[in-house]
Chains A and B, each alone.
Chain A
Amino acid sequence: MGIGPPSRVTPQAVIQNDVVITHEDIDRAHDRIRVSAARAQRGVFSRFRLLWLLVGPGILVMLGENDGPSMISYAATGARFGIGFFIPFVVLTFCMALVVQEMTMRLGSATHRGHAELIFDRFGPFWGWFSMIDLGIGNFLTLITEFIAIRAGLGFFGVPPWAAVVSALAFLGLAIMTHRYWTWERTLLAIAVFNLVFVPVALLTHPNWHSVGRALITWKPLPGGLSQETLIIVLADIGATVTPWMLFFQQSATVDKGLTTKDIRLGRIDTVVGAALAAIAAVATILATAPLFAHHMTAENFQGAEFAQALQPLIGRFGAALFALGIVEAGMVASVTISISSAYAFGEVARRPHSLNLPMAEGRAFYSVLFLCAATAGAIVLIPGLPLVYVVLLVNVVAVLAMPPALVFLFMLANDREVMGDLVSPRWANLLATSVVIFLTLAGVFFGISVIAPNVFAFLGGK
């Protein structure tokens, strides 16, 4: 047996079965020709070109997950707890995301099937629909929070809520109108890198690097100890890093991009680079709002980019504007990736064409689902009086709770030798993945206990 998955279809079968060739296939073929040409050449430049051609899904999923609610969760973390336990904790959550996302990239490259499609085919519609319901609800709730972030971020510049929502929908329309995966991916990558705007904002606050180093080593301090509020922030920060839509998005984007088993090594680099960039931006956001904690300013009254207003006296108008723009960018990029994740899953399950290479005429259902999800979520955000930060934290908590069932299917698929051949997960990866499932489940259980019996934490020395 070779290194790849066992082939279910031979080229001869392709010809005999009278296969329909589509524009989607032609676009993907052009992309693969460039990859093959770069791979055939030697030299450092060609290696970099190959890497450049193959990166995308990993960076996009990680920076996409540094979305509006995630950045608001990190901002709330910095403002409530300052520099301490949560700095190394957030780095740990990105390590967990890396373990999980590598599996989706490997699955997509080996099977050329999206995650929803694979669950439906392999485990049947009963379990498939459960996964789809989890994904649908989770994606829709998260999309609402993306629009909350966009509304709040643009609100800093005096943009009214309705105009913020319309701008976000227009951005979504522009992002997909090229009907070409490659162009969409490069455009979104260029915008997603703007997520690192939180780094200069953090530098403007002149962080105490000694405290940062000490926190990374000792995981301390944790002001207030163990309490229900701490647990909500713990879960929100996990939910800011590992969520079900990421599994579906990266696997489908890997398939849409056309990655094969030969690309897995560089696909891993893509995912590692994405995780590293996203972790830097996340830690920078905590550092940026940590002065609010140091100055004993409460975060309870902040609504998204009002963190920017609170920071203005400390870092000036320019720094605060950068922070608000960062929140807008995070919401914009994620509203695109999450809408696309829903549309991919719909197409895979409904057996309708689902690719960003599709012309509008061929992909009407795909593009309609994509746009309808976003437009409905945007409309909900315009309801007056929504407790924005609370909704954001809650949606991240829900994402964490939905993760273990999703991870078990991913785990089974990545270890399915009939599907993956010799590309099944190695033992060390299984150990890490099992640890992630147990950790997420326990975090959820602790949250449940804190809600049902809050006094239990008094016995553990918390509040």
Chain B
Amino acid sequence: MPSKDKGHSSITTSDQELVLSSLEPEQLTGLKKHLIPRRHLRGLEKFIVWSLRIYLLFMMAVVIFQVWTSLH
């Protein structure tokens, strides 16, 4: 049976029934501990993600350069 939150004994059986009847199972806070299965990036996905990561690092360097030139 679903248990009460251990730190909160004010939760009653009718509360439990209310929650189970109105929320979808995956909405229950307690069930969010179940991880969604991992998937690995494929070739093209990996290429795009890495390219954008390098793009971001490069552009941050550009922004720092822009700030530096503005200050001088």
A25 close to chain B: CB less than 8 A? yes
Contacts of B60 in A (CB 8 A): 398, 401
Contacts of A351 in B (CB 8 A): 33
Known: A21-B16, A451-B62. A362 touches B38 (CB 8 A): no
Known: A7-B25, A11-B20, A401-B59. A394 touches B67 (CB 8 A): yes
Contact assessment for B55 and A441 in the assembled complex, using a CB-CB cutoff below 8 Å: yes
Interface centre among B1, B29, B38, B66 (most CB of A within 10 A): B29
Contacts of B34 in A (CB 8 A): 8-9
B43 close to chain A: CB less than 8 A? no
A408 close to chain B: CB less than 8 A? yes
Q: Tell me the minimal C-beta distance from B55 to chain A in angstroms.
A: 7
Contact assessment for B23 and A29 in the assembled complex, using a CB-CB cutoff below 8 Å: yes
Beta-carbon contacts under 8 Å, A420-452 to B: 441, 444, 447-448, 451-452
The closest CB in chain B to the CB of A391 belongs to B67
Give a binary string over B57-72; 1 marks a CB under 8 Å from any A CB, 0 the rest.
0111011011101100
Contact assessment for A401 and B25 in the assembled complex, using a CB-CB cutoff below 8 Å: no
The closest CB in chain B to the CB of A261 belongs to B24
Contacts of B48 in A (CB 8 A): 408
Q: Tell me the minimal C-beta distance from B6 to chain A in angstroms.
A: 7
Contacts of A342 in B (CB 8 A): none
Main secondary structure of the interface of A (DSSP, over half): helix
Give a binary string over A173-206; 1 marks a CB under 8 Å from any B CB, 0 the rest.
0000000000000000000000000000000000
Contact assessment for B52 and A22 in the assembled complex, using a CB-CB cutoff below 8 Å: no
Give a binary string over A14-26; 1 marks a CB under 8 Å from any B CB, 0 the rest.
1101111111111
Q: CB < 8 Å: which of B19, B29, B63 contacts A401?
A: B63
A336, B32: Cα distance in complex, Å? 25
Contact assessment for B31 and A14 in the assembled complex, using a CB-CB cutoff below 8 Å: yes
Contact assessment for B8 and A412 in the assembled complex, using a CB-CB cutoff below 8 Å: no
Contact assessment for B55 and A25 in the assembled complex, using a CB-CB cutoff below 8 Å: no
Contact assessment for A26 and B11 in the assembled complex, using a CB-CB cutoff below 8 Å: yes
A374 close to chain B: CB less than 8 A? no
A452, B35: Cα distance in complex, Å? 45
Known: A402-B56, A416-B39. A22 touches B5 (CB 8 A): yes
A8, B29: Cα distance in complex, Å? 15
A52 close to chain B: CB less than 8 A? no
A118, B35: Cα distance in complex, Å? 9
A141, B8: Cα distance in complex, Å? 38
Known: A15-B2, A19-B30, A23-B11. A451 touches B49 (CB 8 A): no
Give a binary string over A378-404; 1 marks a CB under 8 Å from any B CB, 0 the rest.
000000000000100010011001101
A25, B18: Cα distance in complex, Å? 9
Contacts of B52 in A (CB 8 A): 404-405, 408, 441
Of the 9-residue stretches A81-89, A123-131, A296-304, A322-330, which lies at the interface with chain B?
A: A123-131
Give a binary string over B8-52; 1 marks a CB under 8 Å from any A CB, 0 the rest.
100100011011111111111111111111110100010011001
Contacts of A115 in B (CB 8 A): none
A122, B66: Cα distance in complex, Å? 36
Q: Tell me the minimal C-beta distance from A50 to chain B in angstroms.
A: 15
Known: A11-B25, A123-B39. A21 touches B63 (CB 8 A): no
Q: Tell me the minimal C-beta distance from B72 to chain A in angstroms.
A: 14
Beta-carbon contacts under 8 Å, A159-173 to B: none
Contact assessment for A362 and B2 in the assembled complex, using a CB-CB cutoff below 8 Å: no
Q: Tell me the minimal C-beta distance from A403 to chain B in angstroms.
A: 9
Contact assessment for B23 and A23 in the assembled complex, using a CB-CB cutoff below 8 Å: no
Interface centre among A25, A121, A398, A444 (most CB of B within 10 A): A25
Contact assessment for B58 and A21 in the assembled complex, using a CB-CB cutoff below 8 Å: no
Contact assessment for A112 and B36 in the assembled complex, using a CB-CB cutoff below 8 Å: no
Q: CB < 8 Å: which of B19, B26, B32, B53 contacts A26?
A: B19
Contact assessment for A10 and B23 in the assembled complex, using a CB-CB cutoff below 8 Å: no
A252 close to chain B: CB less than 8 A? no
A32 close to chain B: CB less than 8 A? yes
Q: Tell me the minimal C-beta distance from B38 to chain A in angstroms.
A: 6
Contact assessment for A20 and B4 in the assembled complex, using a CB-CB cutoff below 8 Å: yes
Give a binary string over A122-146; 1 marks a CB under 8 Å from any B CB, 0 the rest.
1110010010001000000000000
B-binding residues in A (CB < 8 A): 7-11, 13-15, 17-26, 28-30, 32-33, 36, 111-113, 117-118, 121-124, 127, 130, 134, 258, 260, 351, 353, 355, 361-362, 390, 394, 397-398, 401-402, 404-405, 408-409, 412, 416, 418-419, 441, 444, 447-448, 451-452
13 contacting pairs across A/B (C-beta < 8 A): A21-B30, A25-B29, A26-B18, A26-B19, A30-B18, A111-B36, A113-B36, A123-B38, A123-B41, A134-B56, A398-B63, A405-B49, A418-B39
Apart from A122-B39, A404-B52, A448-B62, 5 more pairs, CB < 8 Å: A14-B31, A15-B20, A23-B8, A25-B19, A29-B23
